[in-house]
Amino acid sequence: MNTANIIDGEASVTAVAHAAMARTPDPRLRRLVAAFVDHMHALIREVDLTEAEFETVLKFVTDIGQQTNDVHNEVVLAADVLGISTLVALRNNPQNQGQSAAALLGPFWRAASPLCANGESIARCDMPGTTMEVSGQVRGVDGAPLAGAKVDVWQASPVGLYENQDEQQPSMNLRGYFITGPDGRYSFRTVRPAGYPVPTHGAVGVLLRLQERHCMRPAHVHFMVSHPGCKTLITQVFADDCEHLGSDVSFGVTKPLVGQFVHHAPGGKDKADGGSGYYTLNYDFVLEQGASCFPEAPIK
Ligand code: BEZ
Ligand code: FE
C-alpha cells in the first residue's frame, strides 16, 4: 500500500501536497504551483483562517467568476483593485533603457477597434464635453522614430462610462487605432474623458464597501502601442488636474504617466469649441526591442 499521501496532522499537509505535485513535467508550472501552495498554506497558518472565512473566500472567487461574461470582467477588476495587476505590470516593464512606463490593462480593452486616420476623431457620435487633441511620437530606445507603429486607444466618456457600459454610445465609441507616419507621429481628436467609478455591482463592490474605499479612477486615456520587433507597451496617461490622481482605486498612477492636459481658452483657433475651450495632450512613447505580443481581451 502506498501511504505517501496519508496526512499525519496539519503540519504535514504542505510537504505531502508538494510531494504529490513534484513530478509536474513543466518546470515553470511546477515552480508556480509549488510557490502558490507554500504561500497559501503560510497565509492560512499566519492568520489562523477560520472555516467561515474560508467559505467567504471561496464565495468571493466563485462570484467573480460567475459575474464575468463577454461584456464585463469581474476577475480582472478584482486583480486591479487588489494591486495585483499593477505589481505584475511594473515588475515586467522596468524602465531600465528609457522605455515608457507601463500600466495595468484594466477590464475594458476590446480587440478589433476601428482603424482611424491620424487627426480623425474617436468620438463616433455627437457628444457633450470638451474637445481634446492628442498627439505624440513613437520612438525606439535609440531615439529613432518608429514609422508604422500601431497606437490603440480607448477611454471613458465625459460622463465616465465606456461605450460597452452605456446604451447612449455607439459601439466602439471612443476607441480606435492609429498608425504612425514616417516621423513616428500619431494624432487624434476626442472629448476629454472624466474620472469614473469602477463597476461596483458585483463582488468587488462588496469588498470595496467593506474596506471603506472609494471606487474612483482619475481621468485617463489608455494606450496600447506596438510595432514589429518591439515589446508591446500597455499604458495609461492620466489628467494632471484630476481629483483622484493620488488615490486611484486600481493603483495605476505612476509619476511618468501624469500627462499635461493643457486647457486652451474659448475663442482660440478652434471656433467649434462650444464655448468651453479645448484641451491638448502631447505624449510620446518609447518602445524597447522584444516580441510584439498582445494580451487576451478581457471583454469581447
Ligand atoms: C480601466 O482603466 O479601464 C480600469 C482599470 C481598473 C479597474 C477598472 C477600470
Ligand atoms: Fe480606464
Ligand 1 in reach of 250 Cβ (< 6 A): yes
- Assess contact for 227 and 150: CB atoms under 8 A: yes
The predicted-structure confidence for 39-52, as pLDDT tens digits, reads as follows: 999 999 999 999 99
Which residue, judged by its Cα, is nearest atom 2 of ligand 1? 106
Q: Phi and psi dihedrals of 220, rounded to 5?
A: -160, 165
Distance from Cα 225 to the centre of ligand 2, integer Å:
16
Ligand 1 in reach of 106 Cβ (< 6 A): yes
Query: Mean pLDDT by 10-residue block, N- to C-terminus, for the chain (300 residues)?
Result: 91 97 98 98 98 98 98 98 98 98 98 97 96 98 98 98 97 98 98 98 98 98 98 98 97 98 83 80 98 98
Domain ranges, ordered by start, for the chain = 74-287
The predicted-structure confidence for 179-231, as pLDDT tens digits, reads as follows: 999 999 999 999 999 999 999 999 999 999 999 999 999 999 999 999 999 99
Which residue, judged by its Cα, is nearest atom 3 of ligand 1? 106
How far is 40 from 19, CA to CA, in rounded Å? 16
Note the helical H segments in 74-165: 74-81, 84-92
CATH of domain 74-287: 2.60.130.10
Give 240's Cβ-side CA count (13 Å radius).
Answer: 13
- Assess contact for 297 and 175: CB atoms under 8 A: no
Q: Would you tell me the crossing angle of helices 74-81 and 84-92 to the nearest 10 degrees?
A: 80
Ligand 1 in reach of 108 Cβ (< 6 A): yes
Distance from Cα 265 to the centre of ligand 2, integer Å:
27
Pocket test for ligand 1, best of 104, 105, 166, 244 (most atoms within 8 A of CB): 104
What was the pLDDT predicted at 286?
99
What was the pLDDT predicted at 267?
77
What was the pLDDT predicted at 276?
87
- Assess contact for 294 and 232: CB atoms under 8 A: yes
Q: Which residues are in the CB-under-5-Å shell of ion ligand 2?
A: 106
SS3 66: helix
Q: Report which of 103, 124, 102, 104 is spatially closest to residue 113, judged by C-alpha positions.
A: 124
What was the pLDDT predicted at 3?
86
What was the pLDDT predicted at 270?
53
SS3 251: coil
